[in-house]
Copies of this chain bind each other. A is one copy, B any other.
Amino acid sequence: MVVPTEAYDDIISLERQPIRVGMIGLHSQSGWAIKSHYPAIMQLSMCFKITALYNKSINQSMETIKDLRLKDAVAYPDLESFVSNSEVEMIVVSTHVVKHYDLLIPILQYATKNSHLKYLFVEWALGCSISQAELIYNEAAKIGIQTIICLQGRKSPYILRAKELINEGALGELNSIEIMGNGGWYGYDRPIKSPAHIYELGYGVDLVTSTFAHTIDILQYITSSYFSKVNAMVFNNIPEQYVVDENGIPTGQKLPKNVPDHLLFQGTLQSGNIPVSCSIKGGKPTKKFTKNLVIDIHGTKGDIKIEGDAGFIEMSNLVLYYSGVKINNVPTNDTPISNSNQNEVMEVHHLRNYNGVLGNIFRLYQAIADFHYSPNGGFKTGKITPFQYQGFEFNGFPTMLDALLLHRLIDNVYKSDSYNSTLDVSNIYTHP
């Protein structure tokens, strides 16, 4: 399998300074950042160094510095001093989506005061709505900072191998794609300890903006194509949930839910007018005969199946199956599992201990380092030349523009549902 990373020995051998990272949302006791961003940065300590923390309370930052022994890090009492400090070259915003807008707009204003600031790394979904995403994107574009968005599924080794196979023609012409996912949450039961905001619309974390968006972003990335036409139906069939305790036993309490629990989506890809069928279900899976994530991609010369135990493709370990005919009769450098027919090739990829939560984000940080330390990156000139967006490139990383294009698709999902229309989306991918 292709690991999309340069050799890091080269990097260390040069006199390079790690990128100085200021983090928003890193708490030693809980949260997403401590499970994903933090270990990724630690494993890439020649490339990244945490120098600043900002949290709602400075005590939380100080506690985190102490707990994690972040000897180079300073806790900042306010956002302005955190952003404008010359010790910060890269800001990572790892907070609830609902806080993105209120943090990012001032960050982008203060950013002009810090000439060392080069990178702004934000979790998907970049705001709770298309309008928030647009405003944030416009501010970032104005000051020319290099943005990174945590659509980390693009860095999954399974996804990259699938993309590579399709790219080199191993499936021939694609002609049909089916996606089925089980998004977890949003079902009949509500675990008593789950955060309330994921069950309420407008917080930017739901079946559509989260489960679907990551999945469809990956599909577009694998196939190197955006959509031309889409139709969607959004369901809230479970408006009330039963609260269950740690053992899944109902507490007797019921709570309202207004986020979707099911999405039907179908459309055609611009490239090849390929039909894509997609059904994403929320709730605790009862599915016995199918995995919680299945992507079937069919072509004239072969097929790919991607399977996952959980519907969250961007943070899951996966299995990739490929079957097809040899291209130019040159054997691939991958493991052939069965080769009964001389012209048939089959590959099965599964890394038993791959940690999808950490692994994909780790690879995203690697891509940032690749960019930063490359001859055209920030190291040589002292000033980086931002690249607009990743699009469907193997290298690089998704940016705010990639996120904006994805927001536009999501916006059309809701519009299609509201208007009972199949929508032409071929023009939503234009950009400056």
The answer to whether A303 touches B279 (Cβ under 8 A) is no
Residue A377 interfacial (CB < 8 Å): no
Beta-carbon contacts under 8 Å, A43-90 to B: none
Interface string of A255-295 (1 = CB under 8 A from B): 00000001011111000111111110101001111100000
A window 397-421: CB within 8 A of B: 416, 420-421
Evaluate contact between A300 and B233: CB separation under 8 angstroms. Answer: no
* Contact call A175/B289, Cβ cutoff below 8 A: no
Shortest CB-to-CB span from A205 to chain B, Å, is 21
Cβ of A240 under 8 Å from chain B: no
Instruction: Let me know if A229 is at the binding interface, CB within 8 A.
Output: yes
User: How many copies are assembled?
Assistant: 2
Report how many residues on chain A are interfacial, defined by Cβ distance under 8 Å.
48
Tell me if A231 is interfacial: C-beta within 8 Å of chain B.
yes
Chain B residues with CB under 8 A of A300: 188, 286
A102 CB → nearest B CB, Å: 35
B178 contacts A235, CB within 8 Å?
no
A175–B262 touching, CB < 8 Å: yes
- Asked whether B264 lies within 8 Å of A286 as measured between CB atoms, the reply is no
Q: Which residues of chain B come closer than 8 Å to A279, judged between CB atoms?
A: 176, 178, 266, 275, 277
A233 and B268: CB pair below 8 A? yes
Inter-subunit contact B231/A422 (CB<8 Å): yes
Tell me if A275 and B268 are in contact (CB < 8 A). no
Bound-complex Cα distance A288 to B180 (A):
17
Query: Which single residue of chain B is at the shortest CB-CB distance from A424?
Result: B420
Within 8 Å by CB of A286, from B272, B290, B303, lies: B303
A319→B272 CA distance, assembly (Å): 34
* A321 with B289: CB separation less than 8 A: yes
Q: Which residues of B contact A276 (CB under 8 A)?
A: 264
How far is it, in angstroms, between the C-alpha of A156 and the C-alpha of B321 when the chains are bound? 33
Residue A299 interfacial (CB < 8 Å):
yes
Evaluate whether A302 and B286 lie within 8 angstroms (CB atoms) in the complex, with A175-B281, A178-B180, A281-B175 already known: yes
> Which residues of chain B are near A298, meaning CB under 8 Å?
281, 286-287
B266 touches A233 (CB 8 A): yes
Q: Which residues of B are found within 8 Å of A305, using beta-carbon distances?
A: 289-290
In angstroms, Cα B296 to Cα A423, docked, is 28
Q: How far apart are A246's CB and chain B's nearest CB, in angstroms?
A: 21
A223 at the interface (CB under 8 A from B): no
In the bound complex, what is the Cα–Cα distance between A281 and B289 (angstroms)? 22
Question: Which residues of chain B come closer than 8 Å to A197, judged between CB atoms?
Answer: none
- Residues of B within 8 Å of A281, CB to CB, are 175-176, 275, 298
| Residues in A lying within 8 Å of B, measured CB to CB | 175-176, 178, 180, 188, 229, 231, 233, 235, 237, 262, 264-268, 272-279, 281, 283, 286-290, 296, 298-303, 305, 321, 323, 346, 416, 420-424
